Structures are given as C-alpha cells and as structure tokens.
Chain A
Amino acid sequence: MSRKIERLINLTIALLATKRYLTKSEIFKSVEGYEGSAETKERMFERDKDDLRSLGIEIEVGSFDPLFNDEAGYRIKQEKYQLDLGEITPTEISLLSLAAQAWQGASFDEAAQKALLKLSSMGVPSDSLSLPTSAHKVNDGGGDLPLITKAIAEQQLITFVYLDSQLDRQERKVVPVGLSSRSGFWYISGVDQEIQEIRTFRIDRIDGEITATKGPKDFELPQSFDPARVFDGDASQSFAIIDVRKGKGFSLRALASSSQSLGEWDQLKLPIYNLNTLASLVLWHGIDVHVQEPFELRELIVAHLEKLVNNHG
C-alpha cells in the first residue's frame, strides 16, 4: 500500500515539476514505481490518473508538439494545483479562518477543517485581534447542505417529501437554484418541476432524505431569480386595512406598507400573501388588532372567533 502512495506522490511531483507534457513512456522510465509488463504499467497508470483526479487534482492531456501527431502527454498545471488567492493579508486569512470555524459541528465541518488546514499552510500569519467579531456558529438544522449546494452547482434534480401547511406529505421535484438562511432556518429555492415556477422550501420541513439525480437537460436558470429577494413574497395584488393599537402589533407593523395614525390606534395597510396566515397573525394579537378590510378576512376571523368561543365555553 505504501508503494502505491509513494508512486502517486512521485507522479504528482513529476507532473507538477515538468514544463512540458510528459509522455507515458517518459513517465514509466523516470517516475519510480512503474514496474512489470507494458500492460501492467499501463493499467497502473490509468488507475493512478483516476485516483489523482478523484482527489481533485486536474491532470491535463495534450501533446507537446501540436504540428505532429504526437503521443499524448500529461502534466499538472501549478496554477490549478495550488491554492491561489492572489495577494492575501493577515486580516483576510483571519476572516477566512472565522468563516471556516463557523461550521464546527455542522454539515460542512469536515470540508471546512480541510480548508482551514490549507489556509494555515499558506505561510501568512493571521491577525484575528483586529476583527470586531468572533466566530458565529452555523446551525444547519441537520439539513444536508453539501448535497444541496452540489445539486445547485450541477443543476441536479432533487426529490423530497415536504410537509405542507395542512401537514400533508407531498413529493416535490425541484431543480434548486438558491440557498438562503433567515432567523436560524435554511431555505432552498428552486424550480418546482410540476408547475415550472420558483418555490421556496424551509429545509427543516422536509420529511426524510433528499435524493439528487441528474437534472433535466434543457434546464435554464430563470432570469427573474434574485437570491436577495427570496423572502420578499410575490407581488401582491390585494391589501388589508387593519387597525392596530398604539405601542402594539409589532409583527404586523413590520409587514405594513403604510401606516396612518388614528388617535389611540394606527391604521395599517398590509399586502395579503396568504389569507389564512394573515388571519392567524391577526388572531395572535387579540384585542389589540382589528380588521377593517377586506370582507373575506373579517369573515374568516369572525368564523374562527365563534368557534373559539364555542370550544372554550
């Protein structure tokens, strides 16, 4: 086993050090460890190439004299092999280290630790004292973020069972395009294949595993998608007029598009995204909030209140 490792390291060094492509015969002659029949060496080399590629090392194939139909040659470009972040300062190293430390105990922990090791191998000291912040932990709620980010990058199709607002389990097939986090929850946005529209899903509402498969061939990233606007909701056509007692109803105030003072009360204008969600939020606020318009929202609230009185009488 040790011999194979030595051979892989020697091959890497030889392909990195060479200024031109090395042919297979040159490699077999000069790199230590290639022994046996021509066929054995050939097989060894093929496997070694695959192994190095699986470690993320790019081996370029080319011929060193394009005018002749030469035997193919191989090399590893230094600039592809090495971590090249350009000029990097101690402050930048500290920022990157904090970024990596944020994953402690979360799904990218292992990758982040490897990245941290590479950063500390750059020979640039860190300077964390100058930063006005300490490491904040990422909480991924147990979601498989590496699977999701890979699916976004490769435009794969992901399939999962999602708990809708009525607790029904529905299978969704989505080509993910964005990942976001707000208030400690993570969200995937993607093109729902059934309706061909962008939908956003909270990851902890996914029931069970997410599976990723090859995505649709003709997939195109929708032009309209802006990851910064995931939480803005769709352009709403209808508005509600809601009275909120002064010094109360902060959650509703945060959603209001305008507010007008009416003495003891303020009158808010709120976009309606979902009538049931809004009704529930209004009810939460009890006697400090009163709906003026629209009629359907008043009706819905009155119906709930009658049930509440009945259920608790």
Chain B
Amino acid sequence: MGKNFSAPLERTARLLDLVPYINAHQGIALKDLAAVFEVSNAQMVNDLTTLWMCGLPGYTPLELMDLDFESGYVSISNAPTLAKPRSVTFDEGVALILGLDLLRASIPIDRIDLLEKIDSLSARISAIINLSSTFSVIAPINQGVSAAIDEALSSRCTLEIEYHSVYRDEITERVVFPIEIVEIDGQQYLSSYCYSASDFRQFKLDRIQRAVVTHEIKTIPKDSSKNEKINSRLKVLKPNRQIAERFSKSDLKAGSEFVFQTYSQQWLERSILSSGDGVALITPPEIRASIAQLAQSMLDRYKVE
C-alpha cells in the first residue's frame, strides 16, 4: 500500500537503496539487479548512469562513486557514505514486528534461543521506529502442531492428528496424508486425505490439538469417494450477525428465504438449533423433522425438572 511518491522521489529512493545492495552483492548480473528492484534493464542502466555522476563535493574521479556495469555485471567501489542500507520506515518496521509476532507463534516452545532472538529483534526495531510498546498479540497456533505439519508437507509423509470436530463435537484421532494448507474465508485449513474417514477432509488448523509425523509413506486410494451434498432451503425469521456469518449471507431480511449447500447434516442441524428462533429449515423434510425431534427431546428434559 505504501506512500505513493512522485516519480523523481521514487527514483531517488531507489538509487539510495541501490548503492548498499550492490555493495553487498558485488558482481550481480544487471538483469538480476533490475529484477530485484522491479525495473526494466534499460531503466537500471539509466539509474546506474545517474549514480555514476554522484559523489562527494569536489566531484573529481576521486570523489565520485566507481561503478562498473558495462560487462553486464555490476560492482561498486568508493561509496562509503551510502554503503550501509537506509533505516526502516515506520510501515517497514511495523511489517517486520507483526511478521515476527506471527513467526513467534510458529516456533516450538523449546527453542528458547530463537524465541529470545525474536523478542530482541522486535525490541530493536520498535526502538528504531519509536514504537512505545508492544501493541499486538498474535495468539499462537499450537507450535508443535505447525512444526509437524510443515515437516509432513515437505517430506510427503503421513501425519497422526488429534482433531476437535466442532460439527460432531468430538475429539478424534486420525491418520491423514496432508496435501496443502488452504485458506477459506480467512481461516487456515489443512487439506488432507483422511484414512480414518477414507475421504478427503479439511482440518481447521487451530482445532488440531496434536500432530505427530509418522514417517509412513502411504498412498491415496484411487476410489476415494466424495460425500453427498445436501441442498437445503432456509427461512430467515430474526436476522442476526451470527446467522449472516455462519451462512455467509451479507444481506438477510426477515421473511426471506435462501438456499444453502453443505456436506454435513450435523452442521446444518446444529447451526439451526443454535440460531434459536433466528432461522428455520424448510427442506429437506427429513432434516426438518430431525431438528423438531431434537428440540422436543431437549425441551422434555427441561420440562421434567
């Protein structure tokens, strides 16, 4: 997002940053340098030519920077004043500090050495950009879990997980073959083949309680089935935010109806129960009857006492 500088200012900033970069990467190919700074080769030659004219007052060959790039490879000398990179801006510093927070959440708890380094780096950057205190907290995904997932993904082996299924209200142990981490509506899921369910499943990362790499190479069966989709029709009675978010409907009006597809009957039943008098299921009739029955048996228990 950053600030949008005018073209000459943007170029000035780029030239100032070019000097320390070349200094740390002497002999870098011109085209690689252009790629790093996201400009064309011609623009890079232009930039280097301009830099060549710069230096300390006096501007004799002794005071000018010495740039060599005619061979297609770039090196620099005699640029001591600009040799070190510029300090970070406020936004750059915040990006690093928040990124470190996120990183901290994924480091195993026994790597105290790394956790200390992260805290110290965060403090040093806060000091540079004058940030008074820590203003952010990133609640960790279980550190051991994310490390095991990383390992299983990179070595393509199976994973034993303990998973809290909210739909089924159960904690189950499963053996899965992880495929990738996917993001759905801002939430992270581990997309896997689950040997316990003999089907593909997505596991919400923060509901994986425990994960252990089994170092077992298994394959995904060819005939892995797909569950059947449930097509439902619902009626909105009392709209509220929970219903809107649960069914991903931004526009809810009392009295309106909408269709919704899901793979889980349990999820559908629980969602309607928890909405109370907020939403009612119209079809399918068998699930409608099941909800009525569930509610009646709960009610009976309250009436008995």
- Interface residues, chain A, with chain B CB atoms under 8 Å away: 1-2, 4-6, 8-10, 12-14, 16-17, 30-32, 51, 54-57, 80-86, 89, 91-92, 95-96, 98-103, 107-112, 114-115, 117-123, 131-134, 136-139, 141, 144-146, 149-150, 152-153, 163-167, 177-185, 204-205, 227-228, 230-231, 247-251, 279-281, 283-288, 290, 298, 301-309, 311-313
Residues of chain B within 8 A of A119, CB atoms compared: 85
**How far is it, in angstroms, between the C-alpha of A183 and the C-alpha of B185 when the chains are bound?**
12
Cβ of A312 to closest chain B Cβ, rounded Å: 4
Contact B295 A13 (CB under 8 A): no
Contact A307 B82 (CB under 8 A): no
- Which residues in chain B, 159-203, are within 8 Å of chain A measured between CB atoms? 164, 166, 169-171, 183, 186-188
| One of B13, B81, B97 near A17 (C-beta < 8 A) | B81
Contact B50 A6 (CB under 8 A): yes
Chain A at the B interface: SS class: helix
The answer to whether A114 and B84 touch (CB under 8 A), given A139-B183, A145-B98, is no
Across chains A and B, the number of contacting residue pairs, with CB separation under 8 Å, is 341
Q: What are 21 residue pairs bridging A and B, where the CB atoms are less than 8 Å apart in the complex? A: A1-B8, A4-B8, A5-B11, A6-B53, A9-B50, A13-B56, A55-B9, A98-B103, A99-B96, A108-B95, A108-B98, A117-B36, A137-B183, A181-B136, A183-B187, A227-B134, A247-B170, A280-B275, A301-B298, A303-B276, A309-B295
- Interface residues, chain B, with chain A CB atoms under 8 Å away: 1-3, 5, 7-9, 11-13, 15-17, 20-21, 23-25, 36-37, 50-51, 53-59, 81-82, 84-100, 102-103, 105-108, 111, 114, 117-118, 121, 124-125, 128, 130-131, 134-139, 146-147, 150, 154, 164, 166, 169-171, 183, 186-188, 206, 237, 239-242, 244, 252, 269-277, 280-281, 288-289, 291-292, 294-299, 301-303
Residues of chain A within 8 A of B2, CB atoms compared: 110-111, 114, 146
**How far is it, in angstroms, between the C-alpha of A280 and the C-alpha of B239 when the chains are bound?**
14
**How far is it, in angstroms, between the C-alpha of A111 and the C-alpha of B56 when the chains are bound?**
30
| One of A12, A84, A114 near B128 (C-beta < 8 A) | A84
Instruction: Specify the chain A residue showing the minimal Cβ separation from B36.
Output: A117
Q: Which 10 A-B pairs have the closest CB atoms?
A: A99-B99, A304-B276, A30-B57, A108-B95, A308-B295, A284-B274, A312-B292, A307-B277, A111-B91, A121-B20
Residues of chain A within 8 A of B130, CB atoms compared: 153
The answer to whether A100 and B95 touch (CB under 8 A), given A180-B137, A298-B302, is yes
Residues of chain B within 8 A of A164, CB atoms compared: 241
Contact A305 B298 (CB under 8 A): yes
Output the residue of A81, A95, A131, A301 with the most chain B CB within 10 A. Answer: A95
Contact B91 A122 (CB under 8 A): no
Contact B90 A309 (CB under 8 A): no
| One of A30, A91, A123 near B23 (C-beta < 8 A) | A123
**How far is it, in angstroms, between the C-alpha of A16 and the C-alpha of B17 when the chains are bound?**
15
**How far is it, in angstroms, between the C-alpha of A190 and the C-alpha of B275 when the chains are bound?**
30
Contact A103 B299 (CB under 8 A): no
Contact A146 B241 (CB under 8 A): no
Residues of chain A within 8 A of B252, CB atoms compared: 167
The answer to whether A1 and B7 touch (CB under 8 A), given A112-B96, A118-B92, A133-B107, is yes
Contact A120 B102 (CB under 8 A): no
Residues of chain A within 8 A of B187, CB atoms compared: 183-184
Residues of chain B within 8 A of A56, CB atoms compared: 86-87, 89
Cβ of B129 to closest chain A Cβ, rounded Å: 8
Residues of chain A within 8 A of B146, CB atoms compared: 133, 136
Contact A283 B273 (CB under 8 A): yes
Contact A16 B82 (CB under 8 A): yes
**How far is it, in angstroms, between the C-alpha of A251 and the C-alpha of B167 when the chains are bound?**
11
**How far is it, in angstroms, between the C-alpha of A123 and the C-alpha of B279 when the chains are bound?**
61
Contact A180 B139 (CB under 8 A): yes
Contact A81 B88 (CB under 8 A): no
Cβ of B224 to closest chain A Cβ, rounded Å: 28
Contact A179 B55 (CB under 8 A): no
Cβ of B187 to closest chain A Cβ, rounded Å: 4
| One of B124, B131, B150 near A133 (C-beta < 8 A) | B150
